[in-house]
Amino acid sequence: MRIRVVQMNSVVGDVAGNLSRMVEFMGDARRDGVNVLIFPEMGLAGYPPEDLLFRPSFLRDLDQAQEELAARTDGLMVIVGYAYAEKRGLRNAAAVMAAGQTLVRVAKQHLPNYGVFDEDRYFTPGTGTTLVLWERWTLGVSVCEDLWYPDGPYLRQARSGANLLVNISASPFSRGKSLMRQEMLGTRADDAAAYLVWANLVGGQDELVFDGASAVLSPDGQVLAQARSFAEDVLTVDLNRTPSQHRRWIDPRWRLGGIEGNDLEIVSVPLEPVADRPAAARRVEPFPDTVQSLYQALVLGLHDYVEKNHFGDVVLGLSGGIDSALTAVIAVDALGNHRVHGVFMPSIITSSASRDDARALADNLGIDWREIPIREVMSAFMDELTPHFAGRASDLTEENLQARIRGTLLMALSNKMGWLVLTTGNKSETATGYSTLYGDMAGGFAVLKDVLKTEVFGLARFVNQRAAGERIPVSVLTKPPSAELSPDQKDEDSLPPYDILDQILRGYIEEDMTPDELIGAGLDPDAVALAVRLINQNEYKRRQAPVGIKVTPRAFGRDRRMPISGRF
């Protein structure tokens, strides 16, 4: 059997476009002697389609596209993910097609409803066990979450005779997930004593990034082939023999038997085998390391957000600091330097060193450089406000006013030029509210929204190491972080040191540790108290922040949802 996984970057809602690309992949597969062609979960619809699923016209388009795809399956078995409606509700399903028709639709049984997933909002779970028979092979087909449960549908399929398991998936990326997921896949294949084909989506969709890395595993859990991470790819594998039954005979777990009666559906595939073809070369693409995978996720997430929403160029404020520098580099790698515009907006507080660093960065990257001083604008604001501030000392108001002027200027350029404004704040700042509402938070997309400050430094060093030079000036990496909104200001005047703060943030936000547990883990009590207070009191700011890329197990936004009004 020759199987091919198409690790596809589907566009949510573009049913016609997704269908057109699938038809092209089918033509290639037919020429290459492929027997089974597999697309990811919701490949026709894009994932997640969210409330598009409530639109009857969208569901009709999916049905028509599925029928057209099935009509083109002469000489191929095709497995594709899509959604359909029936009397009992909406289904998230894998359609198995061959010989010009849809043979069976296997509905997802375990619907994730945690973190970024809301599938209980839309779908009705499937039931029963389905087997697909072709030649010497018995296939068990499942959808994403069904494989994550140790006793899920895949195991019932295997115990009923499946020797090849196919799971179509839309599994988003987060820090550290790739290796954990691979271990899970190996365990599932080993437990089922069956070949396992895992077809994962790739691409950016709003906050989410799907990292691909689709794989084929042997019945003992070893990776036979693996596709690239963070890129579209086509993975072709020849499986020349079915797994031995001996292991199932001697393992007492298999004596429980399989599924019988009305709960078992068996479908035979009318497909002729293909003979006389050269063997397909296997390849196992390595996972990128932790820092590289984080960087690739940010690049892919920004690229797809810009392209799928039909933006042209992007613009960002260049402060001479590390956050704006890293954001600019990511933008260049995602879009090309000709589409990136950097704006330096000095105030009376801004140092000449900041200007030098910002200009050096722009020169290194070859991006458009603009300088718009805000001194006179700030002065005009203060002329109007001073009578109303009489008797009150300067404070955060004047600092925030500078940030809001800069945000206004960037948005004006966005309106006039059609550029997307990239905000440059990181997760450490977003968590503690160390940012200005309607100021540096103003924009259309937050590239570093889920990246801690210590990770920003690590990514910046990675950028320079990979380039074997200074894309980001070394002076940007070595100077103390500063918002530079008041004389001699340093971030650590208001926040705990970032190496301590980020440990607190990971524990409190990503692991739901209590303050006492954080202190018990050896973290400074005063730093914990300050950080937790700032996190809790700034939820209202985060609700108004632009969408940004999720790269951790617990991101702000649709992933972590906390009340604004509350006293816990």
Which residues participate in catalysis according to the annotation?
41, 108, 144
Residues 6+ apart with CB under 8 A from 145: 108, 110, 111, 112, 119, 152
319: alpha, beta or left? (left if phi > 0; alpha if psi -120 to 50): alpha
Residue 201 exposed, middle or buried by CB count within 10 Å (0-12, 13-18, 19+): buried
Give the type of residue at 69. Answer: L
Rounded Cα distance between 12 and 203, Å, is: 11
At 437 the three-state DSSP class reads coil
C-beta of residue 53 within 8 angstroms of C-beta of residue 42? no
Rounded Cα distance between 98 and 103, Å, is: 7
- DSSP β-ladder status, 129-134 and 420-423: unpaired
Of 544, 509, 508, nearest to 528 (Cα)? Answer: 508
Cα-only R_g, the chain: 27
Tokens representing residue 189 in the block:
């294949």
C-beta of residue 159 within 8 angstroms of C-beta of residue 258? yes
Q: Which helix (H) or strand (E) holds 525?
A: helix 525-537
Residue 495 exposed, middle or buried by CB count within 10 Å (0-12, 13-18, 19+): buried
Rounded Cα distance between 339 and 523, Å, is: 44
Rounded Cα distance between 568 and 565, Å, is: 10
C-beta of residue 109 within 8 angstroms of C-beta of residue 167? no
Q: Tell me the H-state helices in 53-176.
A: 56-71, 153-159
Distance, first Cα to last Cα, the chain: 58
Tokens representing residue 102 in the block:
């849809």
Q: Which helix (H) or strand (E) holds 343?
A: strand 340-344
What is the residue-wise DSSP string for 458-496? HHHHHHHHHHTS-SS-HHHHHSPP---SSTT--GGGTS-
C-beta of residue 142 within 8 angstroms of C-beta of residue 160? no
Give the type of residue at 303. Answer: H
Q: Which residues sit opposite 7 in a β-bridge?
A: 233
Rounded Cα distance between 549 and 449, Å, is: 6
Rounded Cα distance between 325 and 305, Å, is: 20
